[in-house]
Structure 1
Amino acid sequence: MEVKIGVTHAPRELVVETDLDAAGVEEHVRAALVEGGVLSLTDTKGRHVVVPGNKVAYVEVSVSTVGKVGFKS
């Protein structure tokens, strides 16, 4: 899944490619917002992204699309 995280007072969004499904991402986001903790996600390469829950402006979850190489006919 591709997860885009908007952070308040930041000009760019964070983009994370994760192995979690949409329900798993939503669970992490809800926990961070309700408990006032941090949103912590691990991407497909093992890197961790940590955002304070009170700084999350929005989260967009979508199926990642891999670019195709070659010509279309």
Structure 2
Amino acid sequence: MCAGYGAADRATLTVRRDIAVEVKIGVQHAPREIVLESGQSAEEVERAVGDALAGKARLLSLADDKGRRVLIPADRIAYVEIGEPATRRVGFGAL
């Protein structure tokens, strides 16, 4: 499943499908922001952003809710907005 990743990386690849956190990332010299819904917790996203900005990682690496990876050079991050965790709604019903 996680070929090429170490044990520490496998722990960060854990994605919860029942809770989504919207993440908006502004990239320097890019006209549009990157928006993704992540199955990672808000704390995991914040930790990954903090590590990238502190120089512990050259890339900010996040997983979206479909398991895809988004990689952004840490020195190009302008801002990161982390939304509140929201449970996914299934089915049809009144809002």
Structure 2: segments with no counterpart, 5+ residues: 1-20
Asked if residue 45 in structure 1 is aligned to residue 71 in structure 2, the reply is no
Runs ≥4 residues deviating over 4 A: 64-67, 69-72
1:1-73 matched pairs, under 5 angstroms: 1-35=21-55, 37-63=58-84
Q: TM-score, normalised by structure 2?
A: 0.65
Aligned-pair CA distance for 1:63: 2.7
SS in 1 for 2:54: helix
Quick check: 1:17–1:64 contact (8 Å CA) kept in 2? no
Quick check: 1:28–1:39 contact (8 Å CA) kept in 2? yes
Whole-Å Cα distance in 2 between the matches of residues 64 and 29 of structure 1? 17
Q: TM-score, normalised by structure 1?
A: 0.83
Aligned-pair CA distance for 1:23: 1.1
Partner of residue 5, structure 2: none
User: Higher relative CO (CA 8 A, sep ≥ 6), structure 1 or 2?
Assistant: 1
Whole-Å Cα distance in 2 between the matches of residues 10 and 39 of structure 1? 16
Q: CA RMSD in A?
A: 2.0
Which amino acid counterpart does residue 53 of structure 2 have in structure 1? L
Identity over aligned pairs, percent: 46
Whole-Å Cα distance in 2 between the matches of residues 14 and 52 of structure 1? 13
Matched residues, number: 71
